Amino acid sequence: MIAKIFAIALLAISCTGPEQTETPRGGIVQVSPSELTLDFEEQETYVTVTADADWGSTVSDPSWCSVYPTGGMKGETKVKITVKKNLLTEDRHNTITFRTTSSKTELPVIQQTSSTGEAMFVPEGYKLFWSDEFDGPSLDADNWTCEIGRGSNGWGNAELQYYTDRTENVDVRDGKLVMTARKESYQGATATSARLITLGKVYFKYGYIVASIKLPKTANGLWPAFWMMGNDFKSKGWPNCGETDILEMGHSNGYNNRQETFLNGACHWGAPGHQYYAHDINNSYSVQDGNFHTFTCIWTEDKISMYIDLETYPSAKPYFEMTLKDFGDNEFRKDNFILLNLAVGGNFPGIWDINQVTALNNGPAEMEVDYVRVFQQK
């Protein structure tokens, strides 16, 4: 009897031994280091992901932080973390989550603000969605596509130029995008220039859209523009995709010594047929004075408003404003992409002969862009 009781006691002890930890069936994933604190500059750094199963990753705010590769197989993987320059007035925080099918590890990323006083203006109630500061050695192909050629009928406007991706026409220098119009014979055209689009790469619905631009002297015959179109352009075509012209200069109505102050905004849509609303102004000061000026579009579900130098003059009134509705194809309530171009001649300036483009009499003309930024409401 005593032996039987002893045997039962031994069995009980063996059943209640040290607790066993079972590895999740989907495997575990770990990352080293366990957190990142980076300075404000654009940069790349590396972490090591160790997993005993296939893994993937997500970034909570991919607008300024990216991961490569985004996933991997069992074992150790060296992963590159890329962050854009932080021009905000405060530190920013992100979280990168690495996952297997049954476990996850979060990597906190903190990027400090600039200590040099360099900071981005962020409109109240908004947060940065996307920007290009043109700080790299060349044009960022993840953001922009250079359109090539003469389009159909001079891009629909009888323009004279042939758009190229040559550095003679589009380049990034000293932190600026430089678009250059030249009087030259090229591919059957009498001038060359540049036109950039973010179609299919950067697109958004609603926001505070701003570009800082140093404009060339447009008198006479140059036509610089900063604008947007619906990202469904390829399927809908123009004008059903919708078009929002934030800035256009060089119109023939601005001749007689008003070229440096005369500008307009416009919206185009296509239901039924081509419809548009445009409004021009004679600004109180030159925006072709050799300095950078900001051109801003505040786009909501109900209204589009456009401003000059709003950051400098926060009480400025819009030079263009239009109430929005469903015009038939919701042209202004869907994703849009950004365009920048410097046209030569055409219907807008009312010049169709390169010899009448006096703006190029003294050589090439440049349109410089310091940055393009898109903010969205918090």
CA distance 372 to 366: 17
Which residues share a beta bridge with 278?
266
133 in active site: no
Query: Helix, strand or coil for residue 230?
Result: strand
CA distance 312 to 132: 21
Q: What are phi and psi of 238, to 5 degrees?
A: -100, 140
CA distance 63 to 81: 13
Return the number of other C-beta atoms located less than 10 Å from residue 90's C-beta. 10
Residue in 133, 243, 260, 368 annotated catalytic? 243
CA distance 101 to 96: 16
Which residues share a beta bridge with 222?
344
The Cα-based distances of 127 to 53, 94, 207, 267 in angstroms read 37, 14, 10, 25
CA distance 139 to 133: 10
Exposure string (b/e) for 94-107, b if CB count within 10 Å is 16 or more? bebbbbbeebebeb
CA distance 322 to 246: 12
- Asked if residue 293 lies in contact with residue 280, where contact means CB atoms within 8 angstroms, the answer is no
248 in active site: yes
Residue in 248, 260, 331, 368 annotated catalytic? 248
Catalytic residues: 243, 248
